[in-house]
Chain A
Amino acid sequence: RKEVEQDPGPFNVPEGATVAFNCTYSNSASQSFFWYRQDCRKEPKLLMSVYSSGNEDGRFTAQLNRASQYISLLIRDSKLSDSATYLCVVNKGHDYKLSFGAGTTVTVRA
């Protein structure tokens, strides 16, 4: 079983729509959770950390469910510039080894 699993998508949504997707992780010892964004043929960049209480950063909301071992990302009022692949990333504490999911592709159309 993969450490981090994501629905690859693609999620094709119109501008202004809300899109949400999950990822699941297998290691219950995982302590830190993140969403990274990767544009086509570019490097991954940190989008936001995911906290136990859930957190919001502008139009982006991340949730963590430790009991079911999944993380979610919701994007409200989608913009064309949100088109990217979103990588779910898990870490055991502050270890230097990050475990990446294969990504969920979101395409926002005009």
Chain B
Amino acid sequence: NAGVMQNPRHLVRRRGQEARLRCSPMKGHSHVYWYRQLPEEGLKFMVYLQKENIIDESGMPKERFSAEFPKEGPSILRIQQVVRGDSAAYFCASSPRQGLDTGELFFGEGSRLTVL
């Protein structure tokens, strides 16, 4: 499968625990984007990364959330001390270059976080 791969698909955490979501971009893509979809809301941009660099994290909550895209391995979205309001679907997307020529982002199937 050459698509964007996310895992885990479903994650349940208790309040105060940590959540780690992983994303492997499509082959040949070096740009990764994380979006969050809260219930009944549209997807919201969180962060844009290239290998070893955070390009734009303007959509990330100031506390508890962090993201990385190391030289080797998948991109990781980390949420510390989760709260119930973090329950959402987290989608990762990738592209081969910055900017979207066609407006098409290729999304992974998402990671659904439930905080009890």
Closest A residue to B92 by CB, please name it: A43
Known: A43-B107, A43-B110. A94 touches B42 (CB 8 A): no
Task: For residue A85, give the distance in angstroms from its CB to the closest CB of chain B.
Answer: 10
The docked-state distance in angstroms from the alpha carbon of A34 to that of B103 is 7
How many residues belonging to B are interface residues under a CB distance threshold of 8 Å?
A: 28
Binds A, one of B14-22, B65-73, B78-86, B93-101: B93-101
How many residues belonging to A are interface residues under a CB distance threshold of 8 Å?
A: 26
- Does B103 lie within 8 Å of A89, measured CB to CB? yes
Task: For residue B86, give the distance in angstroms from its CB to the closest CB of chain A.
Answer: 18
Residues of B contacting A44 in the complex (Cβ-Cβ under 8 angstroms): 43, 91, 107
Closest B residue to A50 by CB, please name it: B103
19 contacting pairs across A/B (C-beta < 8 A): A32-B103, A42-B109, A43-B107, A43-B108, A43-B110, A44-B91, A46-B105, A49-B103, A89-B103, A91-B103, A94-B99, A94-B101, A95-B99, A96-B56, A97-B56, A97-B59, A98-B100, A100-B35, A100-B44
The yes or no answer to A45 lying at the interface (CB within 8 A) is yes
- Does B45 lie within 8 Å of A98, measured CB to CB? yes
Closest A residue to B58 by CB, please name it: A97
Closest A residue to B39 by CB, please name it: A102
Task: For residue A70, give the distance in angstroms from its CB to the closest CB of chain B.
Answer: 16
The yes or no answer to B63 lying at the interface (CB within 8 A) is no
- Does B33 lie within 8 Å of A96, measured CB to CB? yes
Residues of B contacting A102 in the complex (Cβ-Cβ under 8 angstroms): 40-42
The yes or no answer to A4 lying at the interface (CB within 8 A) is yes
Residues of A contacting B43 in the complex (Cβ-Cβ under 8 angstroms): 44, 87, 98, 100
The docked-state distance in angstroms from the alpha carbon of A103 to that of B39 is 11
Q: Which residue of the partner chain, among A41, A49, A97, A101, contacts B45 with CB atoms under 8 Å?
A: A97
Q: Which residue of the partner chain, among A42, A91, A103, contacts B100 with CB atoms under 8 Å?
A: A91
Q: Which residue of the partner chain, among B42, B89, B98, contacts A96 with CB atoms under 8 Å?
A: B98
Residues of A contacting B112 in the complex (Cβ-Cβ under 8 angstroms): 41
